[in-house]
Amino acid sequence: MIRNIFSITAATLISVSAFAQADRKMIREGNRLYGKENFPESEISYRKALDKNRESADAVFNTGDALYKQKKYEDAAKQFSETHDMNEDSKKKSASLYNLGNSLLMANKVQESIDAYKGSLKLDPKNLETKYNLAYAQDLLKQQQEQQQKQDQDKQDKEDKKDQDKNDQDKNQQDNKEQDQKQDKQQQQQNEQAISKEDAERLLNALANDEKNVQEKVKLAKAQKARVRTIKNW
């Protein structure tokens, strides 16, 4: 069933009577080469037919077929879009849109291929291959969207984790800073306490020295008084 995705509506094998003799000849030659799977040469023949008659919708369509077979999907899509606009017949317009959908799908333009298939079904509602390809493209688009959503979610999760890691790092740095400040404050208090203790010891020593000096002065004064009194008595 999947092979239908890769199939296209066959190239025109019989030219219409309205074509000039030269156009028909080049288209027949292109169809012969196309049937032999010589797609590059068949493209050349179809383009020669277009040189003879720029209004040949079948030559444009067949050129798209040849390009598609060469995996030139975007170039093929341009041809099928052009021939859709050129044709008045609903069947041919539907075939152009069908092949356009296939070309866009192979070019990984899934949403655009879905639009082309829907347009083809409006013109030919009973075409089973178009229905199948449309369902396939819709399922593929759903898978791509789910995959994209998962990738977006994974990316968002990584960004959230990165932000959380940064916040944790900032918090750790802030905690370390506060701890360092706390330690500095404690050290400062200890230094102040140490200084106060040293000052107290110096004050006590100074007081002790002063008291000692006073006592020595008193003793000296008593000794002098005693000597004077002795002198007087004598």
Question: Using CA atoms, how far apart are residues 93 and 76, in angstroms rounded to an integer?
Answer: 15
Question: Using CA atoms, how far apart are residues 131 and 121, in angstroms rounded to an integer?
Answer: 7
**pLDDT given for residue 20 in this prediction:** 56
What is the tens place of the pLDDT at every residue in 136-172?
A: 999 999 999 999 999 999 999 999 888 888 888 888 8
Backbone angles phi and psi of 122, in degrees to 5: -65, -35
Are 30 and 66 in contact by the 8 Å Cβ rule? The answer is yes
**pLDDT given for residue 151 in this prediction:** 94
Question: Using CA atoms, how far apart are residues 153 and 164, in angstroms rounded to an integer?
Answer: 16
CATH class of this structure's domain 1-234: mainly alpha
Neighbours of 38 (CB within 10 A): 16
What is the tens place of the pLDDT at every residue in 184-234?
A: 888 877 766 665 677 767 777 877 777 667 677 667 766 666 554 444 433
Neighbours of 22 (CB within 10 A): 13
Neighbours of 112 (CB within 10 A): 17
Domain locations along the chain: 1-234
Are 66 and 43 in contact by the 8 Å Cβ rule? The answer is yes
What is the tens place of the pLDDT at every residue in 85-140?
A: 999 999 999 999 999 999 999 999 999 999 999 999 999 999 999 999 999 999 99
Question: Model's pTM, two decimal places?
Answer: 0.64
Return the percent helix, strand and coil in the chain, to nearest 5: 85, 0, 15
What is the tens place of the pLDDT at every residue in 29-79?
A: 999 999 999 999 999 999 999 999 999 999 999 999 999 999 999 999 999
Q: What contacts 24+ positions apart, CB below 8 Å, involve 69-78?
A: 69/34, 69/37, 69/39, 70/39, 70/40, 70/43, 71/106, 73/103, 73/104, 73/106, 73/107, 74/103, 74/107, 76/103, 77/103, 77/104, 77/107
